[in-house]
């Protein structure tokens, strides 16, 4: 578009109550466009634009300008929308409310031209299945190609949000393929509901540029290009629950223990489904104290550990897992085996009973001797001084029992003791308050340890 035609276009657009403007109508693919709506009035309501012909609005800004002419003031408001068109399009007419009156913008044509240099130097590939199952992970492989002789200052991968969960699996791979340096990243997408999942994978490339102004000063800046791929996946629902194929096992470190000695149990579930949906799986054993840790989920494996404490024999009941098997096309239930734990009663040492000893009190003849009161006075003074010194010395605190964990296990039903046992099991340092509480608690209960 030549200069005269551009001036005429702006003049025609400004004949209307609201005006629109773009920073460029012919844009290289991957470059952004700044689209502005301007209106004058006391109360202006702009349209809430999320997308323009399928292209997401990346940023929105507003500005206000007040101009005084011959004592009259005019308030002008401008709202600017920035987007990156990936194909030629027409920005449609939008409704703007100016002081309660509906005004309409004029449509503007945007022409997107191919960037032959960028197309040859950089490529973006996204590989995924066109169909998916609600609640089941679907792989998405993203590959970014860069020619080895090109310079690039920054790369930012913009992943979308929607009615799905998207998370990276493993580490990104870095390798060479012909004349290209390739970066490969794998994700899984888990649809949350049935229907069409429509999103864009965008790579924002940054290039450092230098410009020289009229005074000869050099200014450094960044120029950005966007590579984008549109993805459409049709998600269908087959089951309300866990989907995939799994194995389950529960193992213990011992099956015979002394009373109040902990048993360590480990639950392992392996499979290709969404293991994060399992949450925290509890062990429910009557009259038994069970401590559990937060499960670890990694590499298609779910691991949860338990510490079990009891003073009588008990059985760890089977843990069941139901899911829809994609291999067998049916709902399937698998379980662990019950595990019997034998608890041996510990030998309790009976308190020593002091036997009475018959003693014969012999009558001795009283011996008359002279009492020297000077020695008594000296001893009394020395005793007072010694007592005073003892009262000023900070005696060493009583030590806690050596096997503190086992000493406290019988009292695990106490919330504070349970908290301290958890710290001891995880090798955390006890606070002064914890140590003080333990001493007072053991003294009050007067239990042998």
- Tokens of residue 35, six digits: 């689209």
DSSP designation for 163:
S
Are both 108 and 153 inside the same structural domain?
no
Are both 189 and 88 inside the same structural domain?
no
Does residue 214 lie within any of the structural domains?
Answer: yes
pLDDT for position 325: 94
Q: How many domains does the chain have?
A: 4
CATH number at residue 58: 2.60.40.10
pLDDT for position 399: 59
Are both 100 and 149 inside the same structural domain?
no
- Tokens of residue 395, six digits: 């005696």
DSSP designation for 231:
E
DSSP secondary structure of 258-270: ETT--EEEEEEEE
Are both 131 and 164 inside the same structural domain?
yes
Tell me which of 113, 137, 171 is where a domain ends: 113
Are both 21 and 109 inside the same structural domain?
yes
Angle between helices 432-445 and 415-425 (to 10 degrees): 120
List the pLDDT tens digit at each of the 449 positions of the chain.
444 444 434 333 444 478 999 988 888 887 889 999 999 888 899 999 999 988 888 889 988 887 766 667 778 899 999 988 888 999 999 999 998 899 999 999 999 887 766 667 888 999 999 999 999 999 999 999 998 888 888 888 887 788 898 888 888 999 999 889 999 999 999 999 999 988 888 888 888 876 766 666 777 777 788 888 888 999 999 999 999 999 999 999 999 999 988 999 999 999 999 998 998 999 989 989 999 888 999 888 999 999 999 999 999 999 999 999 999 999 999 999 999 999 998 655 444 444 443 433 333 343 344 445 555 556 556 655 655 554 444 434 445 665 777 777 777 778 888 788 878 877 788 888 888 888 888 877 754 44
Does residue 354 lie within any of the structural domains?
Answer: no
Are both 143 and 227 inside the same structural domain?
yes
Q: Residue 136 to residues 140, 242, 378, 381: CA-CA distances in angstroms?
A: 13, 8, 92, 88
Does residue 29 lie within any of the structural domains?
Answer: yes
Are both 72 and 157 inside the same structural domain?
no
Does residue 204 lie within any of the structural domains?
Answer: yes
Are both 109 and 121 inside the same structural domain?
no
Are both 65 and 129 inside the same structural domain?
no
Tell me which of 80, 113, 146 is where a domain ends: 113
Does residue 394 lie within any of the structural domains?
Answer: no
Stated pTM of the model: 0.58
CB-based contacts of 402-410 (< 8 A; 24+ apart in sequence) = 403/449, 404/438, 406/260, 406/261, 406/449, 407/442, 407/447, 407/449, 408/438, 409/260, 409/261, 409/262, 409/309, 410/260, 410/311, 410/447
Tell me which of 65, 81, 113 is where a domain ends: 113
Does residue 5 lie within any of the structural domains?
Answer: no
CATH number at residue 202: 2.60.40
Are both 227 and 257 inside the same structural domain?
no
Does residue 372 lie within any of the structural domains?
Answer: no
Are both 212 and 251 inside the same structural domain?
no
Q: Which domain holds residue 314?
A: 246-344
Are both 304 and 284 inside the same structural domain?
yes
Does residue 349 lie within any of the structural domains?
Answer: no
């Amino acid at each position: 578009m030549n200069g005269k035609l551009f001036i005429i276009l702006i003049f025609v657009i400004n004949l209307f109550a609201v005006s629109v403007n773009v920073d460029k109508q012919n844009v290289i693919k991957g470059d952004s466009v700044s689209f502005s709506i301007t209106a004058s009035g006391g109360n202006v309501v702009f349209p809430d634009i999320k997308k323009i012909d399928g292209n997401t609005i990346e940023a929105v800004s507003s500005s206000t300008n007040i101009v005084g002419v011959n004592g009259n003031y005019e308030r002008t408001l401008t709202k600017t929308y920035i987007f990156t068109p990936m194909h030629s399009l027409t920005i449609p007419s939008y409704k703007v409310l100016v002081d309660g009156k509906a005004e309409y913008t004029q449509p503007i044509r945007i022409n997107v031209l191919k960037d032959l240099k960028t197309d040859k130097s950089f490529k973006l590939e996204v590989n995924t299945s066109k169909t998916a199952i609600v609640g089941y992970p679907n792989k998405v492989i993203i590959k970014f190609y860069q020619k080895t002789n090109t310079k690039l200052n920054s790369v930012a991968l913009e992943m979308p949000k929607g009615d799905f969960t998207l998370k990276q699996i493993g580490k990104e791979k870095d390798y060479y393929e012909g004349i290209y340096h390739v970066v490969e990243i794998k994700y899984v997408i888990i649809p949350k509901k049935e229907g069409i999942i429509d999103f864009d994978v965008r790579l924002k490339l940054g290039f450092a540029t230098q410009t020289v102004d009229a005074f000869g000063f050099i200014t450094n800046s960044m120029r950005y290009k966007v590579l984008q791929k549109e993805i459409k996946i049709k998600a269908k629902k087959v089951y309300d629950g866990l989907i995939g194929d799994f194995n389950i096992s529960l193992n213990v470190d011992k099956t015979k223990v002394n009373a109040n000695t902990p048993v360590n149990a480990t639950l392992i579930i392996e499979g290709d489904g969404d293991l994060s949906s399992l949450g925290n799986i509890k062990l429910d054993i009557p009259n038994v104290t069970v401590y559990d840790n937060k499960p670890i989920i990694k590499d298609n494996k779910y691991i949860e550990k338990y510490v079990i404490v009891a003073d009588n024999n008990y059985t760890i009941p089977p843990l069941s897992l139901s899911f829809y098997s994609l291999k067998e096309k049916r709902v399937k239930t698998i379980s662990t085996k019950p595990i019997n734990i034998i608890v041996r009663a510990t030998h309790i040492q009976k308190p020593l009973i002091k036997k009475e000893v018959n003693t014969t009190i012999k009558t001795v003849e009283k011996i008359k001797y002279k009492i020297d009161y000077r020695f008594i006075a000296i001893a009394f003074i020395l005793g007072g001084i010694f007592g005073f010194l003892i009262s000023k010395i900070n005696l060493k605190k009583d030590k806690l029992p050596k096997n503190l964990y086992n000493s406290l296990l019988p009292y695990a039903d106490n919330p504070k003791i349970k908290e301290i046992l958890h710290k001891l099991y995880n090798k955390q340092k006890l606070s002064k308050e914890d140590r003080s509480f333990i001493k007072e608690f053991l003294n009050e209960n007067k239990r042998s340890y």
